[in-house]
Amino acid sequence: MAIFGRLRDHPTWLETPYQLIEKVFRWLNPLIKKIGYKRVDRWMIFSEKIVKELIFDCKMCGQCTLHFTGMTCPMTCPKNLRNGPCGGVRSNKRCEVDSEMNCVWVEAYKRSTRMKIFGDGIESIRAPLDYRLAGSSAFINLLRCEDDNVCDSFTPAEPEKYL
Protein backbone atom coordinates (compact mmCIF):
# COMPACT_ATOMS: atom_id res chain seq x y z
CA MET A 1 0.00 0.00 0.00
CA ALA A 2 1.49 3.26 -1.14
CA ILE A 3 0.24 5.48 1.69
CA PHE A 4 2.78 8.12 0.71
CA GLY A 5 2.21 7.51 -2.99
CA ARG A 6 1.46 11.19 -3.55
CA LEU A 7 5.19 11.81 -3.16
CA ARG A 8 5.67 10.22 -6.57
CA ASP A 9 4.11 13.28 -8.12
CA HIS A 10 7.18 15.19 -6.99
CA PRO A 11 9.80 13.03 -8.70
CA THR A 12 12.48 15.69 -8.32
CA TRP A 13 12.22 15.42 -4.52
CA LEU A 14 12.71 11.68 -4.77
CA GLU A 15 15.49 11.34 -7.28
CA THR A 16 18.03 13.31 -5.25
CA PRO A 17 17.71 11.15 -2.12
CA TYR A 18 17.73 8.08 -4.34
CA GLN A 19 20.98 9.15 -5.93
CA LEU A 20 22.41 9.96 -2.53
CA ILE A 21 21.51 6.57 -1.07
CA GLU A 22 23.03 4.86 -4.09
CA LYS A 23 26.24 6.84 -3.62
CA VAL A 24 26.40 5.96 0.08
CA PHE A 25 26.00 2.29 -0.72
CA ARG A 26 28.72 2.43 -3.34
CA TRP A 27 30.97 4.17 -0.84
CA LEU A 28 30.20 1.50 1.74
CA ASN A 29 30.69 -1.31 -0.75
CA PRO A 30 34.11 -2.49 0.52
CA LEU A 31 32.71 -2.73 4.05
CA ILE A 32 29.52 -4.48 2.94
CA LYS A 33 31.57 -6.94 0.92
CA LYS A 34 33.64 -7.72 3.99
CA ILE A 35 30.58 -8.33 6.16
CA GLY A 36 29.07 -10.40 3.37
CA TYR A 37 26.36 -9.38 0.89
CA LYS A 38 23.97 -12.05 2.10
CA ARG A 39 24.12 -10.94 5.71
CA VAL A 40 23.63 -7.25 4.92
CA ASP A 41 20.85 -8.21 2.55
CA ARG A 42 19.00 -9.82 5.45
CA TRP A 43 19.36 -6.63 7.52
CA MET A 44 18.28 -4.46 4.64
CA ILE A 45 15.19 -6.24 3.37
CA PHE A 46 12.78 -5.13 6.07
CA SER A 47 13.57 -1.39 6.00
CA GLU A 48 13.88 -1.28 2.22
CA LYS A 49 10.58 -3.07 1.83
CA ILE A 50 8.71 -0.78 4.23
CA VAL A 51 10.01 2.47 2.74
CA LYS A 52 9.61 1.45 -0.88
CA GLU A 53 6.22 -0.08 -0.31
CA LEU A 54 4.83 3.01 1.40
CA ILE A 55 6.00 5.34 -1.33
CA PHE A 56 6.19 3.26 -4.51
CA ASP A 57 3.97 0.24 -3.82
CA CYS A 58 7.16 -1.79 -4.26
CA LYS A 59 6.82 -5.42 -5.32
CA MET A 60 10.35 -6.39 -4.20
CA CYS A 61 11.57 -7.62 -7.56
CA GLY A 62 15.07 -7.02 -6.23
CA GLN A 63 16.16 -5.16 -9.36
CA CYS A 64 14.97 -1.66 -8.77
CA THR A 65 14.72 0.44 -11.90
CA LEU A 66 12.24 3.03 -10.71
CA HIS A 67 14.63 5.95 -10.96
CA PHE A 68 14.84 5.22 -14.69
CA THR A 69 11.07 4.99 -14.99
CA GLY A 70 9.97 8.32 -13.58
CA MET A 71 10.14 7.21 -9.92
CA THR A 72 7.22 4.93 -10.79
CA CYS A 73 7.57 1.23 -10.09
CA PRO A 74 7.08 -0.65 -13.41
CA MET A 75 6.25 -3.82 -11.48
CA THR A 76 2.93 -2.22 -10.51
CA CYS A 77 1.95 -2.55 -14.19
CA PRO A 78 -0.21 -5.69 -14.36
CA LYS A 79 1.91 -6.93 -17.25
CA ASN A 80 5.16 -6.05 -15.41
CA LEU A 81 6.36 -4.10 -18.44
CA ARG A 82 9.76 -2.55 -17.78
CA ASN A 83 10.39 -0.88 -21.13
CA GLY A 84 7.28 1.07 -21.99
CA PRO A 85 3.50 0.94 -22.16
CA CYS A 86 1.59 -1.76 -24.02
CA GLY A 87 -0.67 -0.77 -26.91
CA GLY A 88 -3.85 -1.18 -24.89
CA VAL A 89 -3.89 2.03 -22.84
CA ARG A 90 -7.45 3.40 -22.81
CA SER A 91 -8.26 6.85 -24.14
CA ASN A 92 -8.90 8.06 -20.58
CA LYS A 93 -5.31 6.99 -19.74
CA ARG A 94 -6.55 4.04 -17.72
CA CYS A 95 -5.01 0.57 -17.71
CA GLU A 96 -6.19 -2.08 -20.17
CA VAL A 97 -6.35 -4.69 -17.42
CA ASP A 98 -7.78 -2.65 -14.56
CA SER A 99 -10.04 0.19 -15.67
CA GLU A 100 -9.95 1.72 -12.18
CA MET A 101 -6.22 2.34 -12.33
CA ASN A 102 -4.19 4.92 -14.26
CA CYS A 103 -1.69 3.46 -16.71
CA VAL A 104 1.61 3.13 -14.87
CA TRP A 105 3.52 4.20 -17.96
CA VAL A 106 1.45 7.32 -18.56
CA GLU A 107 2.45 8.41 -15.06
CA ALA A 108 6.03 7.21 -15.50
CA TYR A 109 6.57 9.18 -18.67
CA LYS A 110 4.93 12.33 -17.31
CA ARG A 111 7.11 12.23 -14.21
CA SER A 112 10.31 11.36 -16.05
CA THR A 113 10.03 14.47 -18.22
CA ARG A 114 10.32 16.54 -15.03
CA MET A 115 13.33 14.70 -13.65
CA LYS A 116 16.77 16.18 -14.08
CA ILE A 117 19.10 13.43 -12.92
CA PHE A 118 17.57 10.17 -14.14
CA GLY A 119 14.94 11.53 -16.56
CA ASP A 120 16.67 10.21 -19.70
CA GLY A 121 16.81 6.68 -18.31
CA ILE A 122 13.34 5.97 -19.67
CA GLU A 123 14.83 5.97 -23.18
CA SER A 124 17.20 3.08 -22.59
CA ILE A 125 16.36 -0.61 -22.67
CA ARG A 126 15.96 -2.63 -19.48
CA ALA A 127 17.12 -6.25 -19.60
CA PRO A 128 14.81 -9.12 -18.61
CA LEU A 129 14.27 -9.67 -14.89
CA ASP A 130 16.24 -12.24 -12.95
CA TYR A 131 13.54 -13.90 -10.90
CA ARG A 132 16.08 -15.42 -8.52
CA LEU A 133 16.61 -11.95 -7.06
CA ALA A 134 12.95 -11.42 -6.15
CA GLY A 135 12.46 -10.62 -2.48
CA SER A 136 16.00 -9.44 -1.87
CA SER A 137 17.44 -5.96 -1.41
CA ALA A 138 17.87 -4.06 -4.67
CA PHE A 139 20.68 -1.89 -3.32
CA ILE A 140 22.71 -4.91 -2.29
CA ASN A 141 21.96 -6.62 -5.60
CA LEU A 142 23.20 -3.54 -7.38
CA LEU A 143 26.56 -3.81 -5.67
CA ARG A 144 26.68 -7.58 -5.93
CA CYS A 145 25.87 -7.64 -9.65
CA GLU A 146 28.44 -5.01 -10.47
CA ASP A 147 30.95 -6.92 -8.43
CA ASP A 148 30.74 -10.37 -9.92
CA ASN A 149 28.71 -9.79 -13.09
CA VAL A 150 26.01 -12.28 -12.16
CA CYS A 151 23.24 -10.38 -13.81
CA ASP A 152 22.87 -7.61 -16.31
CA SER A 153 19.55 -6.27 -15.07
CA PHE A 154 21.07 -2.96 -14.10
CA THR A 155 23.28 -2.19 -17.04
CA PRO A 156 21.14 -0.34 -19.55
CA ALA A 157 21.89 -0.70 -23.22
CA GLU A 158 23.62 2.42 -24.44
CA PRO A 159 20.80 4.71 -25.61
CA GLU A 160 21.14 5.52 -29.27
CA LYS A 161 21.14 9.21 -30.07
CA TYR A 162 17.93 9.88 -31.91
CA LEU A 163 16.71 13.06 -30.31
Query: Using CA of residue 66, residue 129, residue 134, residue 3, what is the dihedral sign?
Result: positive
Rounded distance between C-alpha atoms, residue 109 and residue 123, angstroms: 10
Instruction: Kindly identify the residues of this chain, within the stretch 9-68, that bind other proteins according to CB under 8 A.
Output: none
Judged by CB under 8 A, the residue of 89, 114, 130, 146 near other proteins is: 89
Instruction: Single out the segment in contact with other proteins by CB under 8 A; choices: 3-11, 22-30, 36-44, 79-87.
Output: 79-87
- What end-to-end distance do the CA atoms of the chain give, in Å? 37
130 is an interface residue for other proteins by CB under 8 A: no
Q: How far is the CB of 105 from other proteins (least distance, A)?
A: 7
Query: Dihedral of the CA atoms 142, 148, 153, 159 (nearest 10)?
Result: 100
**Residues that bind other proteins in the complex, under the rule CB under 8 A:** 78-91, 93, 96-97, 103, 105-106, 109-110, 122-129, 157, 159-160, 162-163
